[in-house]
Amino acid sequence: MTDGHHRLTLAASIVGTGTSPLSARWPGTRWDRFAQWDHYRRSAQIARRGVLDAVFVSDHPAHQRDTHRAPGHVFDPVALFSAIAGAVPDIGFVLTASTSYNAPYNLARRIASLDAISGGRTILNLVTSFNPDIAANFGHAPLQSREERYRRADEFVDVLTRLWDSWELGPDEPPAGPLWQADPIDHHGEFYDVRGPLTVPVGPQRRPVLAQAGASGPGLDFASRHAEIVYAALLGKDAARRFRAELDARVRAQGRSPGDVRLLPGVNVVLGDTEADARQRHLAFQGVRDEDELVARFLARQRAAGRPALPASVDPDRVLDPAWFEPDPRQDAPIGFARALQDLVASEGLTARELVTRHGDPGGHRLVVGSPRQVADALVDWWADGVVDGYVVHLPLLHADLERFVDQVVPILQAEGVFPRDYEEAGATIRDRFGLPTPLPAARAVG
Residues 183-222 that bind a second copy (CB under 8 A): 188, 192-201
Tell me: does residue 371 bind a second copy (CB under 8 A).
no
Minimum distance, C-beta of residue 109 to a second copy, in the bound complex (Å): 5
Q: Alpha-carbon torsion 98, 9, 45, 88, what sign?
A: negative
Residue 154: which H helix or E strand, with range? helix 146-164
Closest CA to 211 of 86, 320, 54: 54
Tell me: does residue 83 bind a second copy (CB under 8 A).
yes
**Class of residue 442 by CB neighbours under 10 A (exposed 0-12, middle 13-18, buried 19+):** middle
d(C-alpha 234, C-alpha 298), whole Å? 18
Closest CA to 285 of 14, 12, 18: 18
Chain positions 228 to 287 lying near a second copy, rule: CB under 8 A, are: none
Minimum distance, C-beta of residue 131 to a second copy, in the bound complex (Å): 12
Measured in whole angstroms, the distance separating CA 289 from the mean position of its chain's CA atoms is 31
DSSP for residue 358: I
Give whichever of 185 and 368 is closer to a second copy, judged by the CB atom.
185
Chain positions 126 to 145 lying near a second copy, rule: CB under 8 A, are: 133, 136-140
Minimum distance, C-beta of residue 92 to a second copy, in the bound complex (Å): 15
Minimum distance, C-beta of residue 117 to a second copy, in the bound complex (Å): 4
Buried-exposed string 5-20: b where 16+ CB fall within 10 A, e elsewhere: eebbbbbbbbbbbbbb
Among 145, 147, 169, 373, binds a second copy (CB under 8 A): 169
d(C-alpha 49, C-alpha 402), whole Å? 10
Give whichever of 98 and 357 is closer to a second copy, judged by the CB atom.
98
Q: Which stretch binds a second copy (CB under 8 A): 101-109, 325-333, 344-352, 364-372?
A: 101-109
Among 156, 167, 231, 423, binds a second copy (CB under 8 A): 167
Tell me: does residue 78 bind a second copy (CB under 8 A).
yes
Chain positions 322 to 341 lying near a second copy, rule: CB under 8 A, are: none
Enumerate the H helices of 165-270 as residue ranges: 217-226, 237-253
Q: Which stretch binds a second copy (CB under 8 A): 79-87, 247-255, 328-336, 362-370?
A: 79-87
Tell me: does residue 353 bind a second copy (CB under 8 A).
no
Q: How far does the chain reach from its first CA to its final CA, in angstroms?
A: 45
**Class of residue 324 by CB neighbours under 10 A (exposed 0-12, middle 13-18, buried 19+):** middle
Give whichever of 185 and 234 is closer to a second copy, judged by the CB atom.
185
Give whichever of 138 and 324 is closer to a second copy, judged by the CB atom.
138
Number of residues that bind a second copy (CB under 8 A): 71
Tell me: does residue 445 bind a second copy (CB under 8 A).
no
d(C-alpha 93, C-alpha 226), whole Å? 18
**Class of residue 405 by CB neighbours under 10 A (exposed 0-12, middle 13-18, buried 19+):** buried
Minimum distance, C-beta of residue 50 to a second copy, in the bound complex (Å): 20
Among 56, 93, 105, 150, binds a second copy (CB under 8 A): 105
Give whichever of 24 and 230 is closer to a second copy, judged by the CB atom.
24
Tell me: does residue 82 bind a second copy (CB under 8 A).
yes
Among 174, 255, 308, 447, binds a second copy (CB under 8 A): 174
Tell me: does residue 89 bind a second copy (CB under 8 A).
no
Chain positions 7 to 66 lying near a second copy, rule: CB under 8 A, are: 24-25, 30-32, 35, 37, 41, 60-64
**CA distances for 345 relative to 300, 306, 362, angstroms:** 17, 17, 12
User: What's the 3-state SS for 86-112?
Assistant: HHCCCCEEEEEEECCCCCHHHHHHHHH
